[in-house]
Amino acid sequence: MSQPASEPVSDRADLVSYLDVDVTPELLELALTHRSFAYEHGGIGNNERLEFLGDSILGQAVTVMLFRENPDLDEGDLAKRRASLVSTVALAEIARHIGLGRYIRLGRGEELTGGRDKHSILADTVEAIIGATFLDAGQAAATGLVMRLIEPLLNDPDRFGAAMDPKTSLQELSSAQGRGMPTYVVSDSGPDHDKRFHAIVRLGRDDIATGIGSSKKMAEMAAALEAWTRLTAEAAAPPAAAPDAPAAPDASGADAPAAEQR
């Protein structure tokens, strides 16, 4: 039987290999099932309960890690770092790093509106997978998975700082580049019980990046992180080589073309 059009075309072998945890195919499928898909397929199970569990496991694992590895940080700094690592923006970035979007089972409406790259859907699915790992493989395996997932952020101090406070990071970067202060334009869509906010970040008259979130704040943070990423990449790119200028003719005529020497 062929897959419904709204399901991802990729099998899950690469994802299972990357996660490296012992989760049954049935529970992993549930963790990858968004409520929009469940609704369109007769109200089958979705990943919201697993997401609830995974959120708790994630928070505990990150809290313990930060406490043990940062003995000199006070409560305020620890809380900021934890918030950055468990935020929707950070989890969505982790999901993109492992290519999670293509494995999620989405309803047609979400598929058509770019659901595979929405911060909230990606972040919720990461938490659901953590919850599934806890149920099937236990606390130690779930904690190990959390540590592997957040490792890329921890290994990139600049990125870690941007994920912690993307709006401030973008403001500092744009100011250093002489591009002025970022401004945000936010709109919303959807019913009150499932509203989505869409933010555009601008520098001067230029729209730099966009972001989507479940709140105005989350949408602005998503847009700011995307803008920070783009500006950082542009600054790191080598300048385009200028076209070679034509060589000046030798006054003696020794290097001139033969036709000109005659």
Active site residue 77: no
Q: Is 127 marked within a binding site?
A: yes
Q: Is 72 marked within a binding site?
A: no
Roughly what angle, to the nearest 10 degrees, separates helices 75-86 and 48-69? 140
Q: Is 234 marked within a binding site?
A: no
The answer to whether 99 and 32 have CB atoms below 8 angstroms apart is no
Q: Which of 55, 110, 111, 226 is catalytic?
A: 55
Q: Which of 93, 110, 111, 127 is catalytic?
A: 127
Q: Which residues contact 87 (CB under 8 A, 6 or more apart)?
A: 163, 221
State the alpha helices, DSSP H only, in the chain.
13-19, 25-31, 35-40, 48-69, 75-86, 88-97, 108-112, 119-137, 139-154, 157-164, 166-176, 216-236, 258-261
Three-state SS at 130: helix
Task: For residue 136, give both structure tokens.
Answer: 């099937």
CB 194: neighbour CB atoms within 10 A? 10
Active site residue 127: yes
Residues annotated in a binding site for Mg(2+): 51, 124, 127
| Residues annotated catalytic, as ranges | 55, 127
